[in-house]
């Protein structure tokens, strides 16, 4: 099993959950330190140090599930020039849990999302 923190369109009930659902083994609510930005149809995450919280879900997936998420997130490998997101190892802010998360390298010019939840932001736009 591979642990991944999801916070946007991959969340249960959101538009891209179908990408990961065939490979999903477990789901658990979680929180990490970070800030969300609005890219339009999806959010971007930038990690912070104990400042802002991002609510999401820890999902347990197979290797095939991680590969499917890499394709969706345009992640080709560490530091690849064509990556839209980087895949970073993180720890939960509250739980004894850690795993991968997809982070946006440069949110310059994107509006910050006020609050800690993409679901809340999306459904209240």
- Options 57, 60, 63, 73, the catalytic residue: 73
The predicted structure's pLDDT at residue 61: 98
Instruction: Say what the pTM is.
Output: 0.95
Distance CA 97, CA 86 (A): 20
Domains of the chain: 2-123 (3.10.490.10)
Distance CA 108, CA 106 (A): 6
The predicted structure's pLDDT at residue 106: 86
The predicted structure's pLDDT at residue 104: 93
Q: Is 73 part of the annotated catalytic residue set?
A: yes
Which regions of the chain are under pLDDT 70?
Answer: none
Question: Would you say 56 and 86 are in contact if contact means Cβ atoms under 8 Å apart?
Answer: no
- Residues 83-111 pLDDT 10s: 999 999 999 999 999 999 999 988 889 99
Pairing of strands 98-103, 2-6: parallel
């Amino acid at each position: 099993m591979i642990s991944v923190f999801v916070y946007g369109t991959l969340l249960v009930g959101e538009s891209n959950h179908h990408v990961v659902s065939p490979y999903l083994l477990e789901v658990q609510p979680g929180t990490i330190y970070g800030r969300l930005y609005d890219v339009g149809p999806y959010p971007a995450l930038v990690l912070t140090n104990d400042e802002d919280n991002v609510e999401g879900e820890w999902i347990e997936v197979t290797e095939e599930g991680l590969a499917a998420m890499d394709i969706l997130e345009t992640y080709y490998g560490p530091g690849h020039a064509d990556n839209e997101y980087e895949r970073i190892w993180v720890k939960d802010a509250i739980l004894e849990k850690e795993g991968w998360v997809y982070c946006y390298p440069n949110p310059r010019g994107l509006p910050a999302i006020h609050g800690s939840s993409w679901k809340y932001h999306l459904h209240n736009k």
